[in-house]
Structure 1
């Protein structure tokens, strides 16, 4: 029996070596492709190819009796590393054939999400221009559009990736320009921008409202959601079909009137819980470096999630809480849950505490 185990383990070791060798060869080829893209001024990311690879991987895995989810996860790790390595090679050069490309304008294009969308639209065949109040230099792969009061009709699409507080005025400015382009706004909340959307619709412009549910560090769109906001006079579904259907992102249709209420759970609550954890952790008697040495898997998972969140856009986090007209409902429910749990613990009501967990567990399990 031991001889059999040794034989199988020996074969596994050989397969492990082969897997690493194959991964190294794949990376070698990916870097050659990355160099070619750099030499020919092609964008690093091709989200359509990403979708094709994932679909092919899942089909192949299923035919071989391997979990498609596992195979997708493995391939996502490999592709993500390839993209990051190709980015290191990519030299910014403006394409000589740019005049033959369709034109897109990204307003707020020097912000982090603006840069993401600039790269995305470039990857699907657009010559991208950027408008931004920031004075920093525009990357050489993009043009700079300085004046929003002129020359807007050369664009097929105009995308806004601007702070929520600034977006309504920009939408109303565009409404005065008789813009022919499809205008897409990407705000994390929709109530603050409804007036601007209304002005655009009344001007006869085509306007769409979407909400990318991911951050600017996203390399791949596998398992990522883009909310497509439907509403009277909106062209959001047209925008989704034109510019996002060929990716591996999940396009989720949502009524714009329900968007901010839904965001209480998916943004407001999740952010707020992380605020509580991060701020409270910093105020504990145990220093964080010591807490990390004493922490278990749950602590580390929560710590990494919170640390990543705190490294992002603090002003946006404030706006998501402060500009959502439903936020008070969230805080009231949080207080009630905290008071209820505290009462059960203080009174040593084990049965009541377990019932709370059992009730929530039953609901959570339905999503598996």
Structure 2
């Protein structure tokens, strides 16, 4: 017993030493990553090279196997390091490009979660960001509780307010006619369409943008930003240029098509997760009991649902209620639930199987289409 305890302490000390070396090597890797990013920038090459990533991961798996280490563990470790590397390279390229150097940007709604992300993003580009938000103290430097108190001589105005205030802000901007690029980032465009088009017709340099990611996002690779032309082609080009030094995928979309697609992409996914969480809340089984016996599928679904219901409920209500296409989505969801209930009630196994096969076929088409789109985007 006396021999075992000192041996355990020695082994723990050895493990601590190895862990420190791992961290030191990871930090060294990040320094090399920065140099690679700069070299790619000077050569005009894309930051992300999927073929190279696959070569690295395949090599790591083979090396891990030769050492008796689980290849999946090795790949997961390197995949995390690669993502950290890409995040660092992307951030450094944006800073180095300094697109906003010497310019000012006004973010209306800049104290909100997405607004704050936009403030950080523009700041990294060299812009001097001004934040207008009712939650901001006007006495703070660069802060304004009323956007109308902010300076008019800015090069960029981003409307990141809730949808109804955004509509009113847009109307006021038409009257003010600023000499700046203007765009909104609303998740639903229907209440803004008339104002956006009227603003463009008056000569305002305006377009519409929709970042398809949350405010906690750091790496933009694999993310999408939707760009919509409102009638001023120059505005679209300038908005596109804001993201030119990132790895985000820019998708041009017809303004009239936006809400129809978002009803399914956002509306359905939000509704499903809200229904999932609310159904559990109404169940007679306590959460504590289910926590003791969670399955893999339940845990994954609960994780997604938890993230959804933790968001701003007023914003999520706007996304559902203000989208004119939401009734079709809710009706479609109701029809499938009734179809499932009928199959179970009647013991109709073929109908149940057909439901699963239908869903499997659609998700496969989506997966294949996503892979093909990624390959095209990266010239593969």
Summarize the Cα distance change of 1:61–1:218 in structure 2 as closer, same or farther, 3 Å threshold.
Answer: closer
Aligned to 2:130: 129
User: Which secondary structure state, in structure 2, belongs to the residue aligned with residue 227 of structure 1?
Assistant: strand
CA RMSD of aligned residues (A): 3.4
Aligned to 2:109: 108
Q: Deviations over 1:55-80 (max 9, x none)?
A: 35645434457389979842355359
Instruction: Give runs of aligned pairs for residues 330-341 of structure 1, distance below 5 A.
Output: 330-341=329-340
Q: Aligned partners of 1:348, 1:249: CA distance in 2, in Å?
A: 48
Aligned to 2:317: 318
Once superposed, which parts of structure 1, at least 4 consecutive aligned residues long, lie more than 6 Å away?
17-20, 28-31, 67-72, 80-83
Summarize the Cα distance change of 1:207–1:22 in structure 2 as closer, same or farther, 3 Å threshold.
Answer: same
With the length of structure 1 as denominator, give the TM-score of the two structures. 0.76
Aligned to 2:378: none
Aligned to 2:11: none
Summarize the Cα distance change of 1:65–1:329 in structure 2 as closer, same or farther, 3 Å threshold.
Answer: closer
Summarize the Cα distance change of 1:146–1:284 in structure 2 as closer, same or farther, 3 Å threshold.
Answer: closer
Instruction: Give runs of aligned pairs for residues 10-29 of structure 1, distance below 5 A.
Output: 21-27=21-27
The reply to whether residue 75 of structure 1 matches residue 75 of structure 2 is no
Instruction: Give runs of aligned pairs for residues 193-208 of structure 1, distance below 5 A.
Output: 193-208=192-207
Q: Would you say the 8 A contact 2:178–2:204 is kept in 1?
A: yes
Residue-pair matches, total: 319
Aligned to 1:89: none
- Cα deviation for residue 254 of structure 1 reads 1.1
Give the unaligned 5+ runs of structure 1. Answer: 1-13, 32-47, 84-98
- Cα deviation for residue 272 of structure 1 reads 0.1
Q: Would you say the 8 A contact 1:245–1:251 is kept in 2?
A: no
Q: Aligned partners of 2:88, 2:247: CA distance in 1, in Å?
A: 17
Aligned to 2:6: none
Aligned to 2:355: 356
User: Which secondary structure state, in structure 2, belongs to the residue aligned with residue 165 of structure 1?
Assistant: helix
Aligned to 1:61: 53
Aligned to 2:97: none
User: Which secondary structure state, in structure 2, belongs to the residue aligned with residue 166 of structure 1?
Assistant: helix
User: Which is richer in helix?
Assistant: 2
Q: Would you say the 8 A contact 2:102–2:127 is kept in 1?
A: yes
Instruction: Give runs of aligned pairs for residues 200-349 of structure 1, distance below 5 A.
Output: 200-233=199-232, 235=234, 237-349=236-348
Give the unaligned 5+ runs of structure 2. Answer: 1-13, 32-39, 61-74, 90-99, 368-380
Q: Would you say the 8 A contact 1:169–1:196 is kept in 2?
A: no
Summarize the Cα distance change of 1:56–1:100 in structure 2 as closer, same or farther, 3 Å threshold.
Answer: closer
The structure showing larger relative contact order (alpha-carbon pairs under 8 Å, at least 6 residues apart) is 1
- Cα deviation for residue 26 of structure 1 reads 3.5
Q: Aligned partners of 2:233, 2:77: CA distance in 1, in Å?
A: 38
Instruction: Choose 211-220 or 259-268, whichever is displaced more.
Output: 211-220
Instruction: Choose 114-123 or 279-288, whichever is displaced more.
Output: 279-288
